[in-house]
Amino acid sequence: MRLANKVALITGGGAGIGRATALRFAQEGAQVVVVDIDDAGGEATVEAVQRQGGRARYVHADVARAADCAAMVEAAERAFGKLNVLFNNAGIMHSQDGDAVNTDEAVWDLTMAVNLKGVYLGCKYGIPALRRAGGGSIINTASFVALVGAATPQLAYTASKGGVLALTRELAVVHARENIRVNALCPGPLRTELLMRFLDSEAKRQRRLVHIPMGRFGEADEIAQAALYLASDESSYVTGTEFRVDGGLTAAYVTPE
């Protein structure tokens, strides 16, 4: 059991990467706190964990709200006694997110509030809990678009994920001597509801696929496996990284300086 006796909190746990990770973490012995604003999805994830013999609790929280983030961490400690792993995974990809000219300011603000501020607030309230537990692992979901521009314009999303990457690096440096590791997961394009809803035509999907050396979209389970490594003690000397799980996409386009 790679996460035996560990407690993990996963935001955006009601679907996609979050649900796949909750199931994988529980299989490896973790007690899981599933956080979402989608109560039906969050409860379904908890039920799926319990069906496979794991322990989980659902907490309704909007990660863009400080009070909700404080409450979700408090709920984790109250339910399971501690917090060892914080997976700041919740995010949105707005259908009206485009280029600078055509993206409405409200879309920009909402995307930043959830995707970037939500990670900051998760860390703001999660780090003291990790300290109380003697250290732990923080995983922040960034994206390959934090490293390269998106072929289909989504400016607010891209900028928010670039912010997550920068935030991750600084937190990793600041908290390295506290036994708190902070890493960013950078998934490539995935076959999740979030992306497929954005890439709502075959032409849009093919425009993404042509850039992926493996020639296919990734699966949520493949990101969950990467999150498991970063959550476990196997990655004890890994912090401040941009962990790319992208089918080779960024290797094809990012040139080292």
Rounded Cα gap, residues 187 and 223, in angstroms: 7
Helix, strand counts (H, E) of the chain: 10, 7
Q: CA angle, corner 60, sides to 123 and 9, nearest 5? A: 40
CA distances from 23 to 41, 51, 126, 138, 148 (A): 13, 10, 21, 18, 30
Q: Is 157 an active-site residue?
A: yes
Q: Is 68 exposed, middle or buried (0-12, 13-18, 19+ CB in 10 A)?
A: buried
The answer to whether residues 142 and 164 touch, using CB atoms and an 8 Å cutoff, is yes
d(CA 62, CA 18): 15
Of the residues 157, 229, 237, 253, which is catalytic? 157
Count Cβ atoms below 10 Å from residue 179 Cβ, excluding itself.
14
State the alpha helices, DSSP H only, in 133-219: 155-174, 193-198, 202-209
Catalytically active residues are: 157
